Chains A and B, each alone.
Chain A
Amino acid sequence: MSDLVVECRRVTRVYGDDGVAVRALQGVDFRVAKGEWAALAGPSGSGKSTLLHLVGGLDRPTDGTVVVDGEQLNDLSESQLSDLRLRKVGFVFQAYNLVPVLSAVENVEFIMQLQGVEPAQRRERALSVLDQLGLSDIGERRPGELSGGQQQRVAVARAIVTEPVLLLADEPSANLDSATTLELLALLRAINEERGVTIVTATHDPIVMGHASRRVLLRDGRIESDEVMSSPAWHA
């Protein structure tokens, strides 16, 4: 198997019909190697979220192919895509999107329960991840009782507890202040460096871009620039 976790070949995504077609992506080639942290940047409508959704198997390309961890997503059924998302991809959303009726630890357990992990084992793993992320004291609280930063950290815990090969974060700092954003980025950095989890983020936020090891700038559905950061922000 190649060292590539993500490989998009000439990916096009068109929304709408022929009359009012919106070409969100136009023949994009995009690859992410294992252990990279790629930040997809660009103005609104540039196609960064669309690309992220295609890589995460949440959407299908109109043309071109998407391969994640060796699996060509175009060939997968909806059920197989669900399974891939459950076992190989971790998601962190802009609006946290935790299950509101579950406590922090239950939210982290939830995804393992979907995987069929035994109750005792999943509780142990959930508590362990929360502890590693410095969230052990808020494990029993529900999302409504947590700050935005805490909720996003719980969402990160949920995303990594299944040890995915790929972590996708869509505007993860959009609802956070600068200090909390830096805390979150430090967390993602640790996950990327210490656990070797490949990360792709879509962001407007220069602070986030500054922490990624690679910055991919999209404009009008095409990659305008793709640069490896020689000295990410945390190295400064």
Chain B
Amino acid sequence: MKNIFIIIAFLVSFLEASQIEWHKSYEDVIKTSTEDQKMIMLFITGEDCKFCAKLKDETFKDPDIIKEITNKYHCVEVTKDEDTYPKKFTAKGVPTIYFLTPKQEVIDYTLGYYDAEEFGYILSAAQRRYKKIKDTK
């Protein structure tokens, strides 16, 4: 019986780390981020956006990216001109991704598709900037 629990726990932890967990709404992500002070990744997509799909199907499925995002970000996906999120986060094209502090200050943003290696650099740079901001406060 004990072994079964261990296997289930292992499988659950494996499943958790195998994909990015998306919050249901912008409001929801702000609430959670305020509680644990993790950064927010606001992913703005559009209808029939092939590079949004490519980003989700390739970059966001990379194990290193999943790990980095799971550990350091709360994520929410919104559709441009459809979902409710602050208008100040404009998207001149899609995919646009904003990296925000829990207080919704913009740390960084990206536009377009990036492969996993490039996206990893962007995540690291955003984290460095966030740390710098936290250290100076």
Whether A and B are associated in the same complex: the answer reads no
Q: Which residues of A contact B (CB under 8 A)?
A: none
